[in-house]
Amino acid sequence: MKNMTLTNIAQACGGRLICPGEPPAAEAAGVVIDSRKAGKDFLFIATKGERVDGHRFIPEVFAGGALGVVCERLPEQPAGPCILVEDSFEALKRIGEFYRRQLSVKVVGITGSVGKTSTKEFVASVLSQKYRVHKTLGNYNNEIGVPLTVLSMPEDTEVAVLEMGINHFGEMHNLSRIARPDICIMTNIGQCHLEFLGSREGILKAKSEIFDFMGEDGAVCVNGDDDMLSTIKEVKGKPPVTFGLSSSCRIYAADIAGRGLLGSEAVIHDREAGINFNAKIPLPGGHMVYNALAATAAGRLLGLTPEEISKGIAAVEGVSGRSHIIELADKVVIDDCYNANPVSMEAALDLLLQADGRTVAVLGDMFELGKEEAKLHERVGGYAVEKGVDCLICTGKLSRHMYEGALKAAEAVEKPADGIHYFPDRESLLEGLAALLLPGDAILVKASHGMGFEKVVEQLT
C-alpha cells in the first residue's frame, strides 16, 4: 500500500509508535479490523465491539506475520510494533483518509435515502467499461465501512465508487473527509432516519455534508425530479447535473417500456450534448431507471461514450437483499429484505405488482421513522391494498399499524379482508407462512435489516 509505513500511519492517526529498535520500512500489505483477515505484513486495528474485543487477538496476528497493530492498550509483551491510540475507530478513519490522499484516483460518492446500493452497482458497472473500478462491498457504507473500503483499494484503481450512508448530523462530514469525492451523486430525499434528523429538510442538510470535502473541480449529480434535491441550484459555484424523467433534466429517460420482472427499456438523453441512446435496464422496478440515469450522469462526466454507458447498464447484476429476483420451481421470490422505509416499501410493492400470478407481500417493521412511525406504517398497509396486492402479511410490533391501515383501506373500498394477515414477530411468521402460500405466487419479502427477514428468504428458497 503506497506510503503506508508504520511511521506514516502513526503520524496520520496521531498515535505513538512503540517498537524495539528502528521501525520497519516496509509498507503494509493491507489494513483490517478482523483478525482472521490479518495476513502477513498486514496492519491490524484492534477495536472493541459490543461482543468482541479485538485486543484479545493481537498475539495471534503477530504470530501470523502482521506488520503491526493499532491498539488502545498495549499487550503485556507485544511481539511486534504497536501504534498506541486513544480511539481505534477514530484512528481507522484517519488512516483511511491518509491512504485516500496517497492515490490519484477519482472517487464517486453516492448518498440518498433510497437506492444507494443499486445506484452504486449501476455506476460501477458503467464506469468499469473504461476504468479499473473499486466499489463498496456489502453494506460497508458508514464510518467504519467507508474507510475499510478505501483501505482495500488496489493501488492501480482508477475510479472508486463509494456508497455513503448516515443517520446523524456530522457523520457525512466525516465520510466526505475520508472519501474526498470528485463526483457526488444524490439519489433522493425520503423519510428514513427521521428519528435522528427530524425532517426531510434535516435529511437534506445532513446528506449535503457530502460536499464538504469535494474538490473545487468536483461535480454534483442530483435527481431533478426530487422536490428537495431540486432546491440545490449551485455547489461550489457550479450548477448540479440533474437526472430524471423530466425532459428539463440534463440526463433524462423517455420511451420507457416495462418488461415486468425482466426490467425495462428506455431511451436515455443527454440534453446538453444533444445525444441519446437505447438502454436495456436488466433489473425490475421503475426506480431502476433512475439508477441507470445516475450512472449515465457519472459516465458522461468521466468521458464515457453512449455505447460504453449502454453496455454497462445492460451488464448490471442484482444484489442479494436488494430487489433480487429468485426463481423457484413453483414460485418467484423478490428478496428485498436488506432495509426498508416508506418510499422503498411503496416502490417494492409497485415492482411486485408487475409480476404474473397472485401477489404476496411479506412486510415487516420499518425502523428509525421517529414520531410518525405509526402513521407511516399505516400508510404502507393502505397503499398495498389500494394498489391491489392479493395477500398482505404484516409482521412485527410496528407493523400492527400497517395491518390496521390495510384493514381500513379494505373497508373503505368494500374489499374482503381475508387476504390481510398479521404476525407479532418473525418466529410466528416462519411457523405460519407456508400455509398462506400457493403455487405460482410472486412473493415480496421486505423489512428493515434489524427484522432479520433474510431468514424468511432462506425458508422460502
pLDDT of residue 102 exceeding 70: yes
Q: Tell me, rounded to whole angstroms, the distance of Cα 260 from its chain centroid.
A: 24
CATH 3.90.190.20 domain position(s) in the chain: 324-460
Query: At 451, which amino acid appears?
Result: M
User: Average per-residue pLDDT in the chain?
Assistant: 93
pLDDT of residue 162 exceeding 70: yes
Q: Which fold has domain 6-91?
A: 3.40.1390
Residues comprising the binding site?
Answer: 112-118
pLDDT of residue 63 exceeding 70: yes
**Cα gap 122→157, rounded to integer Å:** 18
Q: What are phi and psi of 433, to 5 degrees?
A: -65, -45
pLDDT of residue 235 exceeding 90: yes
Q: Which fold has domain 103-314?
A: UDP-N-acetylmuramoyl-L-alanine:D-glutamate ligase (3.40.1190)
Cell of 295: 450512472
The stretch 124-142 carries a mean pLDDT of 92
**Cα gap 152→29, rounded to integer Å:** 10
pLDDT digits (tens, 9 = 90+) for 286-329: 889 999 999 999 999 999 999 999 999 999 987 665 678 888 88
Question: Which pairs with CB-CB distance under 8 Å and at least 24 residues apart come from 408-414?
Answer: 408/378, 408/382, 409/381, 409/382, 409/385, 410/385, 413/385, 413/386
Q: Report the predicted TM-score, pTM, of the whole model to 2 decimal places.
A: 0.76
The architecture of the domain spanning 324-460 is Alpha-Beta Complex (3.90)
pLDDT of residue 269 exceeding 70: yes
Most confident of 126-135, 262-271, 337-346: 126-135
**Cα gap 72→15, rounded to integer Å:** 10
Structure confidence at residue 84 (pLDDT): 97
Distances (CA, A) of 407 to 42, 160, 417: 57, 47, 6
Lowest mean pLDDT among 191-200, 224-233, 279-288, 432-441: 191-200
Structure confidence at residue 96 (pLDDT): 97
Q: Which residues of 147-158 are buried (b: 16+ CB within 10 A; e: fewer)?
A: bbbbbbbeeebb
**Cα gap 457→8, rounded to integer Å:** 46
Structure confidence at residue 325 (pLDDT): 85
* pLDDT band for position 115 (cuts 50, 70, 90): confident
pLDDT of residue 191 exceeding 90: no
DSSP-assigned letters across all residues of 126-139: HHTTTS-EEE--TT
* pLDDT band for position 246 (cuts 50, 70, 90): very high
Structure confidence at residue 454 (pLDDT): 93
The stretch 202-222 carries a mean pLDDT of 93
Lowest mean pLDDT among 101-115, 221-235, 320-334, 385-399: 320-334
Which residue, 135, 148, 194, 96, is CA-closest to 317?
135
DSSP-assigned letters across all residues of 208-228: GGGGTT--TT-EEEEETTSTT
Residues comprising the binding site for ATP?
Answer: 112-118
CATH 3.40.1190.10 domain position(s) in the chain: 103-314
The stretch 406-423 carries a mean pLDDT of 93
Residue 391 · residue 359 · CB < 8 Å: yes
**Cα gap 314→291, rounded to integer Å:** 12
CATH 3.40.1390.10 domain position(s) in the chain: 6-91
* pLDDT band for position 49 (cuts 50, 70, 90): confident
Structure confidence at residue 322 (pLDDT): 67
The stretch 141-157 carries a mean pLDDT of 94
The stretch 338-367 carries a mean pLDDT of 90
pLDDT of residue 23 exceeding 90: no
The stretch 415-420 carries a mean pLDDT of 92
